[in-house]
Structure 1
Amino acid sequence: MVNYYEVLEVHYEVSTDDLKRSFRTLIKKYHPDIHGQNKLWAESKTKTIIQAYKTLSDSTSRKHYDRQYRHLLHTNSKQKPRKRTETAASSEDAIQEHVRIIFTDLLNGNIHHATNNYEHLLKNYAGIDFCIYLNKRDYIDCKFLLAEAFEKLERYDTAINLYELILERGKSDTHRSHLLHEIKERMRNIYCRNLARNAPPEKALSYYEKVLRLNLYKNENAFIYKKIAECYLKLKEYEDALQHLTLALTLKPNLQGAQKLKTKLKQHISNFAI
Protein backbone atom coordinates (compact mmCIF):
# COMPACT_ATOMS: atom_id res chain seq x y z
CA MET A 1 0.00 0.00 0.00
CA VAL A 2 1.42 3.39 -1.03
CA ASN A 3 2.05 5.94 1.72
CA TYR A 4 0.23 8.94 0.25
CA TYR A 5 1.59 11.27 2.94
CA GLU A 6 5.12 10.48 1.78
CA VAL A 7 4.08 10.89 -1.86
CA LEU A 8 2.82 14.42 -1.14
CA GLU A 9 5.76 15.14 1.20
CA VAL A 10 3.55 16.17 4.11
CA HIS A 11 3.00 15.25 7.74
CA TYR A 12 0.05 12.97 8.42
CA GLU A 13 -1.65 15.79 10.38
CA VAL A 14 -1.39 18.18 7.43
CA SER A 15 -4.18 20.72 6.95
CA THR A 16 -6.28 20.89 3.78
CA ASP A 17 -4.66 24.16 2.66
CA ASP A 18 -1.11 22.87 3.15
CA LEU A 19 -2.04 19.64 1.38
CA LYS A 20 -3.23 21.64 -1.62
CA ARG A 21 -0.09 23.81 -1.67
CA SER A 22 2.18 20.77 -1.57
CA PHE A 23 0.17 19.09 -4.32
CA ARG A 24 0.46 22.11 -6.62
CA THR A 25 4.20 22.38 -5.99
CA LEU A 26 4.80 18.69 -6.76
CA ILE A 27 2.64 18.71 -9.90
CA LYS A 28 4.78 21.52 -11.28
CA LYS A 29 7.99 19.84 -10.16
CA TYR A 30 7.21 16.49 -11.83
CA HIS A 31 5.32 17.72 -14.90
CA PRO A 32 6.25 15.36 -17.79
CA ASP A 33 6.94 18.25 -20.19
CA ILE A 34 10.01 19.34 -18.20
CA HIS A 35 11.58 15.91 -17.76
CA GLY A 36 12.65 15.10 -21.32
CA GLN A 37 13.97 11.54 -21.50
CA ASN A 38 12.33 10.71 -18.16
CA LYS A 39 8.87 11.65 -19.40
CA LEU A 40 7.33 8.22 -18.76
CA TRP A 41 8.68 8.20 -15.22
CA ALA A 42 7.33 11.70 -14.66
CA GLU A 43 3.90 10.69 -15.98
CA SER A 44 3.80 7.76 -13.55
CA LYS A 45 4.95 9.99 -10.70
CA THR A 46 2.32 12.60 -11.54
CA LYS A 47 -0.47 9.99 -11.61
CA THR A 48 0.54 8.81 -8.14
CA ILE A 49 0.60 12.39 -6.83
CA ILE A 50 -2.88 13.06 -8.27
CA GLN A 51 -4.27 9.84 -6.77
CA ALA A 52 -2.72 10.68 -3.40
CA TYR A 53 -4.23 14.16 -3.44
CA LYS A 54 -7.68 12.91 -4.49
CA THR A 55 -7.63 10.46 -1.58
CA LEU A 56 -6.35 12.79 1.14
CA SER A 57 -8.17 15.98 0.08
CA ASP A 58 -11.57 14.37 0.68
CA SER A 59 -12.28 13.97 4.39
CA THR A 60 -14.26 10.73 3.95
CA SER A 61 -11.73 8.97 1.71
CA ARG A 62 -8.89 10.24 3.94
CA LYS A 63 -10.44 8.62 7.02
CA HIS A 64 -10.96 5.40 5.08
CA TYR A 65 -7.37 5.48 3.83
CA ASP A 66 -6.02 6.12 7.34
CA ARG A 67 -7.96 3.15 8.70
CA GLN A 68 -6.68 0.89 5.91
CA TYR A 69 -3.10 2.02 6.37
CA ARG A 70 -3.17 1.50 10.16
CA HIS A 71 -4.74 -1.93 9.61
CA LEU A 72 -1.99 -2.88 7.14
CA LEU A 73 0.73 -1.84 9.56
CA HIS A 74 -0.95 -3.83 12.31
CA THR A 75 -1.34 -6.91 10.05
CA ASN A 76 2.27 -6.78 8.92
CA SER A 77 3.46 -6.62 12.48
CA LYS A 78 1.38 -9.72 13.34
CA GLN A 79 2.87 -11.67 10.43
CA LYS A 80 6.41 -11.25 11.71
CA PRO A 81 7.84 -14.19 13.70
CA ARG A 82 6.95 -13.98 17.34
CA LYS A 83 10.01 -14.50 19.43
CA ARG A 84 8.31 -13.38 22.59
CA THR A 85 5.33 -11.32 23.63
CA GLU A 86 7.54 -8.66 25.14
CA THR A 87 8.75 -7.54 21.68
CA ALA A 88 6.11 -4.84 21.16
CA ALA A 89 6.58 -3.45 24.63
CA SER A 90 10.35 -3.39 24.31
CA SER A 91 10.01 -1.64 20.95
CA GLU A 92 7.82 1.04 22.51
CA ASP A 93 10.35 1.47 25.31
CA ALA A 94 13.14 1.81 22.76
CA ILE A 95 11.24 4.50 20.84
CA GLN A 96 10.49 6.41 24.02
CA GLU A 97 14.16 6.28 25.00
CA HIS A 98 15.13 7.45 21.52
CA VAL A 99 12.73 10.39 21.73
CA ARG A 100 14.12 11.32 25.14
CA ILE A 101 17.70 11.22 23.82
CA ILE A 102 16.72 13.54 20.96
CA PHE A 103 15.06 15.95 23.39
CA THR A 104 18.06 15.91 25.73
CA ASP A 105 20.48 16.54 22.85
CA LEU A 106 18.37 19.50 21.75
CA LEU A 107 18.32 20.95 25.27
CA ASN A 108 22.13 20.60 25.40
CA GLY A 109 22.64 22.19 21.99
CA ASN A 110 23.79 19.00 20.22
CA ILE A 111 21.75 19.84 17.12
CA HIS A 112 23.60 17.68 14.58
CA HIS A 113 23.25 14.56 16.70
CA ALA A 114 19.62 15.37 17.51
CA THR A 115 18.53 16.05 13.91
CA ASN A 116 20.31 12.95 12.61
CA ASN A 117 18.62 10.80 15.25
CA TYR A 118 15.28 12.44 14.52
CA GLU A 119 15.45 11.66 10.80
CA HIS A 120 16.66 8.12 11.52
CA LEU A 121 13.70 7.58 13.86
CA LEU A 122 11.20 8.84 11.26
CA LYS A 123 12.74 6.56 8.65
CA ASN A 124 12.38 3.47 10.85
CA TYR A 125 8.98 4.31 12.32
CA ALA A 126 6.84 6.04 9.68
CA GLY A 127 4.13 8.26 11.13
CA ILE A 128 5.55 8.26 14.65
CA ASP A 129 4.02 10.96 16.83
CA PHE A 130 6.18 12.36 19.62
CA CYS A 131 3.12 13.40 21.63
CA ILE A 132 2.64 9.75 22.59
CA TYR A 133 6.03 9.70 24.31
CA LEU A 134 6.17 13.22 25.79
CA ASN A 135 3.78 15.32 27.82
CA LYS A 136 2.22 18.27 25.99
CA ARG A 137 4.67 20.88 27.26
CA ASP A 138 7.76 18.79 26.45
CA TYR A 139 6.26 17.85 23.07
CA ILE A 140 5.88 21.52 22.06
CA ASP A 141 9.35 22.36 23.38
CA CYS A 142 10.93 19.41 21.58
CA LYS A 143 9.30 20.27 18.25
CA PHE A 144 10.27 23.93 18.67
CA LEU A 145 13.91 23.06 19.37
CA LEU A 146 13.91 20.69 16.39
CA ALA A 147 12.56 23.43 14.13
CA GLU A 148 15.16 25.84 15.49
CA ALA A 149 17.91 23.26 14.88
CA PHE A 150 16.89 22.67 11.26
CA GLU A 151 16.69 26.43 10.77
CA LYS A 152 20.28 26.83 12.02
CA LEU A 153 21.34 24.06 9.64
CA GLU A 154 19.62 25.98 6.81
CA ARG A 155 17.10 23.17 6.33
CA TYR A 156 14.36 25.74 5.94
CA ASP A 157 11.58 23.56 4.48
CA THR A 158 11.86 21.09 7.36
CA ALA A 159 11.98 23.94 9.87
CA ILE A 160 8.86 25.53 8.39
CA ASN A 161 6.95 22.23 8.50
CA LEU A 162 7.80 21.79 12.18
CA TYR A 163 6.87 25.37 13.04
CA GLU A 164 3.53 24.93 11.25
CA LEU A 165 2.87 21.73 13.21
CA ILE A 166 3.47 23.57 16.50
CA LEU A 167 1.10 26.36 15.47
CA GLU A 168 -1.61 23.82 14.67
CA ARG A 169 -1.11 21.87 17.90
CA GLY A 170 -0.75 24.94 20.10
CA LYS A 171 -3.40 27.28 18.72
CA SER A 172 -5.79 26.46 21.59
CA ASP A 173 -3.10 26.92 24.25
CA THR A 174 -3.58 30.50 25.46
CA HIS A 175 -0.83 30.09 28.07
CA ARG A 176 1.85 29.87 25.38
CA SER A 177 0.66 32.60 23.03
CA HIS A 178 4.07 34.29 23.31
CA LEU A 179 5.73 31.18 21.88
CA LEU A 180 3.25 30.97 19.01
CA HIS A 181 3.91 34.62 18.15
CA GLU A 182 7.66 33.98 18.17
CA ILE A 183 7.15 31.02 15.83
CA LYS A 184 5.21 33.23 13.41
CA GLU A 185 8.05 35.75 13.46
CA ARG A 186 10.60 33.01 12.77
CA MET A 187 8.50 31.73 9.87
CA ARG A 188 8.21 35.27 8.51
CA ASN A 189 11.99 35.68 8.69
CA ILE A 190 12.62 32.37 6.93
CA TYR A 191 10.18 33.17 4.15
CA CYS A 192 11.36 36.76 3.66
CA ARG A 193 15.09 36.63 4.41
CA ASN A 194 16.11 33.10 3.51
CA LEU A 195 13.70 31.96 0.83
CA ALA A 196 12.11 34.92 -0.97
CA ARG A 197 15.18 37.17 -1.08
CA ASN A 198 17.08 35.07 -3.65
CA ALA A 199 14.08 33.47 -5.32
CA PRO A 200 12.67 34.47 -8.75
CA PRO A 201 9.65 36.79 -8.40
CA GLU A 202 7.14 34.01 -9.21
CA LYS A 203 8.43 31.88 -6.33
CA ALA A 204 8.93 34.85 -4.02
CA LEU A 205 5.23 35.70 -4.42
CA SER A 206 4.23 32.31 -3.01
CA TYR A 207 6.47 32.87 0.03
CA TYR A 208 5.06 36.33 0.72
CA GLU A 209 1.51 35.02 0.42
CA LYS A 210 2.34 32.41 3.07
CA VAL A 211 3.54 35.21 5.36
CA LEU A 212 0.22 37.01 4.94
CA ARG A 213 -1.60 33.87 6.09
CA LEU A 214 0.24 34.11 9.41
CA ASN A 215 -2.00 37.09 10.34
CA LEU A 216 0.80 39.29 11.63
CA TYR A 217 0.57 42.92 12.74
CA LYS A 218 -0.66 45.66 10.41
CA ASN A 219 2.77 47.23 9.83
CA GLU A 220 4.30 43.84 9.00
CA ASN A 221 1.53 43.11 6.51
CA ALA A 222 2.11 46.52 4.92
CA PHE A 223 5.75 45.59 4.34
CA ILE A 224 4.72 42.26 2.79
CA TYR A 225 2.22 43.92 0.44
CA LYS A 226 5.02 46.26 -0.68
CA LYS A 227 7.30 43.27 -1.37
CA ILE A 228 4.52 41.63 -3.37
CA ALA A 229 4.13 44.86 -5.36
CA GLU A 230 7.87 44.77 -6.10
CA CYS A 231 7.55 41.20 -7.39
CA TYR A 232 4.70 42.13 -9.70
CA LEU A 233 6.72 45.09 -10.95
CA LYS A 234 9.58 42.73 -11.88
CA LEU A 235 7.06 40.53 -13.68
CA LYS A 236 5.76 43.63 -15.55
CA GLU A 237 2.29 43.07 -14.11
CA TYR A 238 1.85 46.72 -13.27
CA GLU A 239 -1.83 46.77 -12.30
CA ASP A 240 -1.27 44.01 -9.75
CA ALA A 241 1.75 45.90 -8.45
CA LEU A 242 -0.34 49.04 -8.04
CA GLN A 243 -3.12 47.13 -6.28
CA HIS A 244 -0.75 45.69 -3.67
CA LEU A 245 1.11 48.96 -3.16
CA THR A 246 -2.26 50.60 -2.49
CA LEU A 247 -3.02 47.94 0.12
CA ALA A 248 0.37 48.53 1.72
CA LEU A 249 -0.19 52.30 1.95
CA THR A 250 -3.69 51.79 3.32
CA LEU A 251 -2.14 49.92 6.25
CA LYS A 252 0.85 52.25 6.62
CA PRO A 253 0.71 55.58 4.70
CA ASN A 254 4.33 56.51 5.47
CA LEU A 255 5.75 53.14 4.42
CA GLN A 256 9.46 53.33 3.70
CA GLY A 257 10.37 52.66 0.08
CA ALA A 258 6.86 53.28 -1.23
CA GLN A 259 7.80 56.51 -3.02
CA LYS A 260 10.44 54.72 -5.09
CA LEU A 261 7.82 52.18 -6.16
CA LYS A 262 5.37 54.96 -7.06
CA THR A 263 7.95 56.59 -9.33
CA LYS A 264 8.56 53.34 -11.19
CA LEU A 265 4.86 52.58 -11.59
CA LYS A 266 4.12 56.06 -12.98
CA GLN A 267 6.34 55.18 -15.94
CA HIS A 268 4.06 52.28 -16.89
CA ILE A 269 0.54 53.30 -15.82
CA SER A 270 -0.86 56.31 -17.69
CA ASN A 271 -3.72 57.10 -15.28
CA PHE A 272 -1.62 56.46 -12.19
CA ALA A 273 -3.17 57.91 -9.04
CA ILE A 274 -2.29 56.89 -5.51
Structure 2
Amino acid sequence: MKILKKKILTQTPDTRIVRMEIMAPEIALKAQAGQFVVVMVAREGERIPLTVVDTRPSEGSITLVFQEAGLTTRLLGQMEEGQSLYALAGPLGHPTEVRRYGRVAVIGGGVGIAEAYPVSKALVSQQNEVICILGARTSGLLILEQEMRACCSFLYTATDDGSRGTKGFVTDVLSGILEKQSLNLVYAVGPIPMMRKTASLTLSKGIKTIVSLNALMVDATGMCGCCRVSIAGKTKFSCVDGPEFDAHQVDWEELGARSGIYKEREEHACRLHLKRLDS
Protein backbone atom coordinates (compact mmCIF):
# COMPACT_ATOMS: atom_id res chain seq x y z
CA MET A 1 0.00 0.00 0.00
CA LYS A 2 3.01 2.20 -0.57
CA ILE A 3 2.56 5.39 -2.56
CA LEU A 4 4.76 4.93 -5.63
CA LYS A 5 4.02 8.16 -7.47
CA LYS A 6 2.22 11.38 -6.67
CA LYS A 7 1.28 14.18 -9.03
CA ILE A 8 -0.85 17.28 -8.52
CA LEU A 9 -3.07 17.35 -11.60
CA THR A 10 -4.43 20.82 -10.96
CA GLN A 11 -4.41 23.40 -8.23
CA THR A 12 -6.36 26.63 -7.86
CA PRO A 13 -6.90 28.82 -4.78
CA ASP A 14 -9.86 26.66 -3.71
CA THR A 15 -9.38 23.28 -5.42
CA ARG A 16 -6.60 20.70 -5.60
CA ILE A 17 -6.83 17.40 -7.47
CA VAL A 18 -4.16 14.75 -6.96
CA ARG A 19 -3.22 11.53 -8.73
CA MET A 20 -1.49 8.71 -6.86
CA GLU A 21 -0.11 5.40 -8.01
CA ILE A 22 -0.24 2.89 -5.16
CA MET A 23 1.22 -0.58 -4.77
CA ALA A 24 -1.68 -3.02 -4.56
CA PRO A 25 -0.89 -6.19 -6.56
CA GLU A 26 -4.04 -8.19 -5.82
CA ILE A 27 -6.36 -5.27 -6.55
CA ALA A 28 -4.47 -4.47 -9.74
CA LEU A 29 -5.10 -8.00 -11.01
CA LYS A 30 -8.85 -7.95 -10.37
CA ALA A 31 -10.16 -4.38 -10.64
CA GLN A 32 -12.43 -3.55 -13.57
CA ALA A 33 -13.90 -0.32 -14.91
CA GLY A 34 -16.49 1.15 -12.59
CA GLN A 35 -15.15 -0.41 -9.40
CA PHE A 36 -13.66 1.35 -6.40
CA VAL A 37 -11.49 0.83 -3.35
CA VAL A 38 -11.87 1.97 0.25
CA VAL A 39 -8.93 3.88 1.68
CA MET A 40 -7.87 4.55 5.27
CA VAL A 41 -5.08 7.07 5.68
CA ALA A 42 -4.54 6.36 9.38
CA ARG A 43 -5.77 3.91 12.00
CA GLU A 44 -7.99 6.49 13.68
CA GLY A 45 -9.32 7.85 10.39
CA GLU A 46 -12.46 7.22 8.37
CA ARG A 47 -12.89 5.00 5.33
CA ILE A 48 -13.42 6.77 2.00
CA PRO A 49 -14.30 5.29 -1.41
CA LEU A 50 -12.14 6.18 -4.42
CA THR A 51 -12.56 4.95 -7.98
CA VAL A 52 -9.85 2.78 -9.49
CA VAL A 53 -8.82 5.01 -12.38
CA ASP A 54 -6.20 2.73 -13.87
CA THR A 55 -4.33 -0.50 -13.16
CA ARG A 56 -0.86 -1.82 -13.96
CA PRO A 57 -1.07 -5.55 -13.19
CA SER A 58 2.48 -6.21 -14.37
CA GLU A 59 3.77 -3.64 -11.90
CA GLY A 60 1.22 -4.44 -9.19
CA SER A 61 -0.11 -0.91 -8.92
CA ILE A 62 -3.38 1.00 -9.17
CA THR A 63 -4.03 4.67 -9.85
CA LEU A 64 -6.37 6.83 -7.77
CA VAL A 65 -7.45 10.42 -8.42
CA PHE A 66 -9.10 12.54 -5.76
CA GLN A 67 -10.04 16.09 -4.96
CA GLU A 68 -9.03 17.42 -1.57
CA ALA A 69 -12.49 18.22 -0.27
CA GLY A 70 -12.99 16.78 3.21
CA LEU A 71 -10.54 16.08 6.03
CA THR A 72 -9.51 12.59 4.89
CA THR A 73 -8.81 13.58 1.27
CA ARG A 74 -6.77 16.52 2.57
CA LEU A 75 -4.76 14.21 4.81
CA LEU A 76 -4.28 11.84 1.89
CA GLY A 77 -3.12 14.74 -0.25
CA GLN A 78 -0.44 15.56 2.33
CA MET A 79 1.12 12.10 2.02
CA GLU A 80 4.21 11.72 -0.13
CA GLU A 81 5.86 9.09 -2.29
CA GLY A 82 7.34 6.30 -0.17
CA GLN A 83 4.73 6.57 2.57
CA SER A 84 2.08 3.87 3.02
CA LEU A 85 -1.66 3.94 3.56
CA TYR A 86 -2.97 2.37 6.75
CA ALA A 87 -5.49 0.23 4.86
CA LEU A 88 -6.77 -0.37 1.34
CA ALA A 89 -9.65 -2.70 0.43
CA GLY A 90 -11.05 -3.65 -2.93
CA PRO A 91 -11.99 -3.91 -5.64
CA LEU A 92 -15.54 -3.16 -4.51
CA GLY A 93 -18.83 -2.57 -6.27
CA HIS A 94 -20.12 -4.02 -9.51
CA PRO A 95 -18.02 -3.35 -12.61
CA THR A 96 -19.50 -1.47 -15.54
CA GLU A 97 -21.52 -3.64 -17.93
CA VAL A 98 -19.26 -3.42 -20.94
CA ARG A 99 -20.47 -4.69 -24.30
CA ARG A 100 -21.00 -3.41 -27.80
CA TYR A 101 -23.76 -0.80 -27.59
CA GLY A 102 -22.96 1.25 -30.68
CA ARG A 103 -22.63 5.01 -30.20
CA VAL A 104 -22.08 5.97 -26.57
CA ALA A 105 -21.72 9.33 -24.85
CA VAL A 106 -19.58 9.33 -21.70
CA ILE A 107 -19.95 12.45 -19.56
CA GLY A 108 -17.57 13.42 -16.78
CA GLY A 109 -18.00 16.49 -14.61
CA GLY A 110 -15.25 17.81 -12.34
CA VAL A 111 -13.27 15.08 -10.61
CA GLY A 112 -15.86 12.67 -12.08
CA ILE A 113 -13.73 12.79 -15.24
CA ALA A 114 -11.36 10.42 -13.47
CA GLU A 115 -14.19 7.90 -13.10
CA ALA A 116 -15.28 8.36 -16.70
CA TYR A 117 -11.80 7.52 -18.00
CA PRO A 118 -11.66 3.76 -17.26
CA VAL A 119 -15.25 3.36 -18.43
CA SER A 120 -14.43 5.07 -21.74
CA LYS A 121 -11.42 2.80 -22.27
CA ALA A 122 -13.48 -0.30 -21.53
CA LEU A 123 -16.25 0.74 -23.94
CA VAL A 124 -13.75 1.45 -26.70
CA SER A 125 -12.26 -2.01 -26.20
CA GLN A 126 -15.63 -3.44 -27.25
CA GLN A 127 -15.67 -1.47 -30.52
CA ASN A 128 -18.08 1.21 -29.38
CA GLU A 129 -17.98 4.70 -30.85
CA VAL A 130 -17.39 6.76 -27.72
CA ILE A 131 -18.16 10.46 -27.53
CA CYS A 132 -16.60 12.06 -24.45
CA ILE A 133 -17.96 15.23 -22.87
CA LEU A 134 -15.85 16.77 -20.11
CA GLY A 135 -16.89 19.67 -17.92
CA ALA A 136 -15.51 21.84 -15.14
CA ARG A 137 -15.96 25.29 -13.64
CA THR A 138 -12.92 26.61 -15.49
CA SER A 139 -10.23 25.30 -17.84
CA GLY A 140 -7.73 24.89 -15.03
CA LEU A 141 -9.92 22.22 -13.46
CA LEU A 142 -10.28 20.04 -16.56
CA ILE A 143 -8.29 16.89 -15.80
CA LEU A 144 -7.11 13.94 -17.89
CA GLU A 145 -8.07 15.68 -21.12
CA GLN A 146 -5.17 14.18 -23.06
CA GLU A 147 -5.89 10.67 -21.75
CA MET A 148 -9.58 10.97 -22.58
CA ARG A 149 -8.87 12.30 -26.06
CA ALA A 150 -6.69 9.26 -26.75
CA CYS A 151 -9.51 6.80 -26.04
CA CYS A 152 -12.52 8.61 -27.52
CA SER A 153 -13.80 9.00 -31.06
CA PHE A 154 -14.82 12.59 -30.34
CA LEU A 155 -14.15 14.83 -27.36
CA TYR A 156 -16.04 17.94 -26.28
CA THR A 157 -15.34 20.24 -23.36
CA ALA A 158 -17.50 22.71 -21.48
CA THR A 159 -16.62 25.21 -18.78
CA ASP A 160 -18.87 27.42 -16.71
CA ASP A 161 -16.81 30.50 -17.55
CA GLY A 162 -16.17 29.66 -21.20
CA SER A 163 -12.39 29.41 -20.76
CA ARG A 164 -12.35 26.08 -22.64
CA GLY A 165 -14.83 24.66 -25.11
CA THR A 166 -18.51 25.48 -24.80
CA LYS A 167 -19.46 28.15 -22.30
CA GLY A 168 -21.99 26.39 -20.12
CA PHE A 169 -22.56 22.86 -18.94
CA VAL A 170 -21.88 19.37 -20.27
CA THR A 171 -25.64 18.94 -20.54
CA ASP A 172 -25.71 21.82 -23.04
CA VAL A 173 -23.24 19.90 -25.19
CA LEU A 174 -25.25 16.70 -24.79
CA SER A 175 -28.43 18.50 -25.81
CA GLY A 176 -26.75 19.72 -29.00
CA ILE A 177 -25.51 16.22 -29.84
CA LEU A 178 -28.97 14.74 -29.33
CA GLU A 179 -30.39 17.20 -31.84
CA LYS A 180 -28.06 15.91 -34.56
CA GLN A 181 -27.54 12.20 -33.92
CA SER A 182 -28.83 9.20 -32.03
CA LEU A 183 -27.13 7.56 -29.07
CA ASN A 184 -27.43 4.00 -27.84
CA LEU A 185 -26.16 4.68 -24.34
CA VAL A 186 -25.28 7.63 -22.13
CA TYR A 187 -23.00 7.24 -19.11
CA ALA A 188 -22.60 10.11 -16.65
CA VAL A 189 -20.59 10.66 -13.49
CA GLY A 190 -20.05 13.87 -11.58
CA PRO A 191 -22.10 16.39 -9.60
CA ILE A 192 -25.63 15.31 -8.75
CA PRO A 193 -27.34 18.22 -10.57
CA MET A 194 -25.46 17.34 -13.75
CA MET A 195 -26.40 13.66 -13.61
CA ARG A 196 -30.00 14.57 -12.85
CA LYS A 197 -30.20 16.93 -15.84
CA THR A 198 -28.60 14.27 -18.04
CA ALA A 199 -31.27 11.79 -16.98
CA SER A 200 -33.98 14.32 -17.79
CA LEU A 201 -32.59 14.95 -21.28
CA THR A 202 -32.36 11.28 -22.21
CA LEU A 203 -35.61 10.11 -20.64
CA SER A 204 -37.85 11.68 -23.28
CA LYS A 205 -35.75 10.13 -26.03
CA GLY A 206 -35.75 6.68 -24.49
CA ILE A 207 -31.95 6.43 -24.31
CA LYS A 208 -30.52 4.00 -21.79
CA THR A 209 -28.62 6.09 -19.24
CA ILE A 210 -26.30 4.91 -16.49
CA VAL A 211 -24.97 7.04 -13.65
CA SER A 212 -22.27 6.29 -11.10
CA LEU A 213 -23.43 7.52 -7.71
CA ASN A 214 -20.94 8.86 -5.19
CA ALA A 215 -23.26 8.36 -2.25
CA LEU A 216 -21.99 8.78 1.30
CA MET A 217 -20.27 5.57 2.36
CA VAL A 218 -18.87 4.20 5.62
CA ASP A 219 -18.18 0.46 5.69
CA ALA A 220 -18.66 -0.26 1.95
CA THR A 221 -20.03 -3.73 2.75
CA GLY A 222 -23.77 -3.00 2.88
CA MET A 223 -24.09 -3.15 6.67
CA CYS A 224 -24.22 0.50 7.75
CA GLY A 225 -26.85 1.69 5.28
CA CYS A 226 -25.20 5.09 4.94
CA CYS A 227 -24.98 4.89 1.15
CA ARG A 228 -28.59 3.91 0.62
CA VAL A 229 -30.37 5.28 -2.42
CA SER A 230 -33.87 4.79 -3.77
CA ILE A 231 -33.98 3.13 -7.18
CA ALA A 232 -37.40 2.58 -8.74
CA GLY A 233 -38.93 2.98 -5.28
CA LYS A 234 -36.71 0.34 -3.69
CA THR A 235 -33.83 0.83 -1.27
CA LYS A 236 -30.43 -0.05 -2.70
CA PHE A 237 -26.90 0.40 -1.39
CA SER A 238 -24.33 2.08 -3.60
CA CYS A 239 -21.49 0.00 -2.18
CA VAL A 240 -22.87 -3.48 -2.91
CA ASP A 241 -25.69 -2.87 -5.42
CA GLY A 242 -23.89 -0.12 -7.35
CA PRO A 243 -22.22 2.23 -7.72
CA GLU A 244 -23.90 2.35 -11.15
CA PHE A 245 -27.66 2.58 -11.57
CA ASP A 246 -30.30 3.33 -14.18
CA ALA A 247 -30.45 7.14 -14.17
CA HIS A 248 -34.17 7.15 -14.93
CA GLN A 249 -34.94 5.20 -11.76
CA VAL A 250 -32.94 7.28 -9.26
CA ASP A 251 -34.80 9.33 -6.65
CA TRP A 252 -32.79 12.49 -7.28
CA GLU A 253 -34.51 14.59 -4.61
CA GLU A 254 -33.60 12.11 -1.89
CA LEU A 255 -30.06 11.65 -3.19
CA GLY A 256 -29.47 15.39 -3.24
CA ALA A 257 -30.79 15.84 0.28
CA ARG A 258 -28.71 12.98 1.69
CA SER A 259 -25.50 14.08 -0.01
CA GLY A 260 -25.24 17.18 2.17
CA ILE A 261 -26.33 15.67 5.47
CA TYR A 262 -22.83 15.68 6.99
CA LYS A 263 -21.50 18.80 5.28
CA GLU A 264 -21.53 20.95 8.43
CA ARG A 265 -19.75 18.28 10.49
CA GLU A 266 -17.17 17.74 7.77
CA GLU A 267 -16.40 21.45 7.65
CA HIS A 268 -16.12 21.47 11.44
CA ALA A 269 -13.62 18.58 11.33
CA CYS A 270 -11.53 20.44 8.77
CA ARG A 271 -11.51 23.57 10.93
CA LEU A 272 -10.36 21.57 13.95
CA HIS A 273 -7.57 20.01 11.93
CA LEU A 274 -6.35 23.40 10.71
CA LYS A 275 -6.51 24.72 14.26
CA ARG A 276 -4.32 21.83 15.49
CA LEU A 277 -1.80 22.55 12.74
CA ASP A 278 -1.60 26.20 13.76
CA SER A 279 -1.19 25.47 17.46
TM-score (norm: length of structure 2): 0.26
Bigger-Rg structure (1/2): 1
Question: As a proportion of its length, which structure holds more helix?
Answer: 1
TM-score (norm: length of structure 1): 0.26
